[in-house]
Amino acid sequence: MKNPPETMFESAFAEDTYKGLTSYPKYLLSKYIYDKRGDKLFQKIMDMPEYYLTSSEFDIIEQNAHSIIKSFSSKSGFDLIELGAGDGKKTKIILNKLVDENIEFNYLPVDISQNVLDELKESLRNEIPEVNVEVQQGTYFKTLEKLSEYNTRKKVIIVLGSNIGNLNHKEAVDFLGNIAEAMSEEDMLFMGFDQKKHPQKILDAYNDSEGITEDFNKNLLVRINNELEGEFDIDNFLHWETYDPETGTAKSFLVSKKQQNINIKKIGLEVNFEAWESIHTEISQKYDDSIVNWLADEAGLSVEKSFQDRENCYKNYIFRRK
């Protein structure tokens, strides 16, 4: 099916929804999960016992905070730029340590969700008022275009939560390459990568017993209903998670439980689903040192140092431009 002219779409969400649901196989972009409801659901996910990524990275930052900020520091101060800041819980450990040691820096959190940024700025005003905060709403890729403008002193770019795992390897190389292009010799990148491990532990993290991750993925359908006048019956879709230990790729799907036709009025689309047909919603890539080093090399970066949690589930790497 051909896409209609771009002028008929009221938003990028509308256009991307049309493209995804007229493709074969069908897909929806995971970035659109994050509205106010999606943000709250993800905060619940991060608190789940099955979702080890958050506690593992907390462990790394808490155990290595002094060493981490020592790597960040510069005599003339630095700009701490966080891509995908979220609620900033883990970053606050670093911010508190920087303030305690009287290190001069500015904090620039970036996120696709303005709601999350507003909440983060307010919480920092109450909890760590000494931090100079300048929030920026937007996608990673738009933000990367502006990164090179921060060139008067050292930049420390941080990406926590294994957000890079939402990209396939080609996209990850492009993403890292764009960061590398914006970096000077003095700059550094501090990024989290979830590691390969027992497949069941990974599956459990994305398919929790309380169904929070299911609600999170189904928020795509809720948004389509609310914003594009869709007619999805949420209960007619099954949340399904897969993990391939060979490639290290976890994938999330919404699977139609029956044959059904769904009308989405605002984009003039009726979507046919066969019984057990899927919509791909998310990817979560897992890594080991060899893959991380390969990605870095392809992108013009080199690994300077890494930190791991006590159970070796997760690692944070420091990269510099070659």
pLDDT for res 7: 53
Greater pLDDT, 128 or 141: 128
The rounded distance, in Å, linking the Cα atoms of 142 and 243 is 30
pLDDT for res 4: 55
pLDDT for res 8: 78
What's the mean per-residue pLDDT of the chain?
Answer: 93
The rounded distance, in Å, linking the Cα atoms of 191 and 266 is 39
pLDDT band at 1 (very low <50, low <70, confident <90, very high): very low
pLDDT for res 288: 97
* 52-195+288-321 CATH: 3.40.50.150
Greater pLDDT, 113 or 27: 27
Task: Domain ranges for the chain, please list them.
Answer: 6-33+200-285, 52-195+288-321
- For residues 237-249, average pLDDT: 97
Q: What does the pLDDT look like over 271-321, one tens digit per residue?
A: 999 999 999 999 999 999 999 999 999 999 999 999 999 999 999 999 999
Backbone angles phi, psi at 60, to 5 degrees: -60, -50
Q: Which of 143, 140, 144 is nearest to 183 (CA)?
A: 144
pLDDT for res 2: 47
pLDDT for res 144: 73
Residues 284/206, Cβ–Cβ less than 8 Å:
yes
Q: What does the pLDDT look like over 249-269, one tens digit per residue?
A: 999 999 999 999 999 999 999
* Amino acid present at 124: L
* Amino acid present at 119: E
Residue 86 has pLDDT above 70, yes or no: yes
Return the biggest CA–CA distance within the chain.
Answer: 64
Residue 139 has pLDDT above 80, yes or no: no
CA 24 from centroid of its chain's CA atoms: 25
pTM of the full structure: 0.89
- For residues 200-228, average pLDDT: 97
